A and B are shown apart, each in its own frame.
Chain A
C-alpha cells in the first residue's frame, strides 16, 4: 500500500520567506508526527497530532514554526520568515495509534535549503 507521502521533496527558499511543507499520512493512521533532521544528525521531534486532541507542540523551536492537520489526515508544516538555521530535512511520520507496537512509518522528507 501507499506509504507516507511528503511534498515537495526539495525546497530552496530565500531567507525571510515563508514555506509550507505537506504530509499525506498512511490512510487510517490516527497519529502524525513531524521531525527535523539536520545534516549528519539524528532526528529532532517537532510536533505531534492524535485524532481530534490538541497537538503536542513541545518540540517546535520557535513561534515561526506552526503546523495544522486538516480533517484528521493531511498535515502542513509552516515556517515563517525562514532563517538559514532552518535548513534541514523535515520528516513526517504516521502510526496506526500512538501506543506501543505501533511504530512510526516515515516519509522520505522535504529537504529545505534557506539561502
Chain B
C-alpha cells in the first residue's frame, strides 16, 4: 500500500505486504531528514534518517528514499507487521549545526490488517 502523506493521512495494508509512506517536504534548503514512528500514548521513536547528499538509505526492514528534485521523501516498510501500526512522521531540518530543531509533517497513520 502507498500513501501520499499530507493528503492521505491513513494507509491501510495487509500484514505481510510492503508499505510506502510518502512525504512532501517544504524547504529546498533542508539537508537532513528523519522518520519517526509514534504509537498511541508514547513519544515519537526514531526509525531512520538520511542526509541530503544521499538518495537512499536502508535499515532493518525499512528504506528511506529522498528525491531532492521534487522535494519528496518516502519510507518503505518491507513485510509489514501488526506491530508497525502507528503514526509515521517525516521531519526535516536545515543547517547541520542543529539537526534537532525539526519541522515535522502532519503524520500518516498506518493500519495493518491481520
Name the residue among A42, A101, A105, A108 with the largest chain B CB count within 10 angstroms. Answer: A42
| B59 beta carbon closer than 8 Å to chain A | no
**Total A-B residue pairs with C-beta atoms closer than 8 Å?**
63
Bound CA span A65–B45, Å? 26
Residues of A within 8 Å of B36, CB to CB, are 106
Contact of B101 among A48, A103, A107 (CB under 8 A): A48
Interface string of B75-110 (1 = CB under 8 A from A): 000000000000001010000111111111111000
A43 contacts B98, CB within 8 Å? no
Which residues from 32 to 50 on chain A have a C-beta closer than 8 Å to any C-beta of chain B? 33, 41-45, 48, 50
Contact of A98 among B42, B51, B91, B100 (CB under 8 A): B100
Q: Top 4 closest A-B pairs, CB basis?
A: A106-B43, A42-B104, A43-B104, A103-B46
The count of residues in chain A whose C-beta lies closer than 8 Å to any C-beta of chain B is 26
Question: Residue on B with the closest CB to A47?
Answer: B101
B103 contacts A45, CB within 8 Å? yes
A104 contacts B46, CB within 8 Å? yes
The count of residues in chain B whose C-beta lies closer than 8 Å to any C-beta of chain A is 25
Question: Residue on A with the closest CB to B31?
Answer: A100
How distant is B22 from chain A, measured CB to nearest CB, in Å? 15
How distant is B109 from chain A, measured CB to nearest CB, in Å? 10
How distant is B54 from chain A, measured CB to nearest CB, in Å? 12
Residues of B within 8 Å of A108, CB to CB, are 41-43
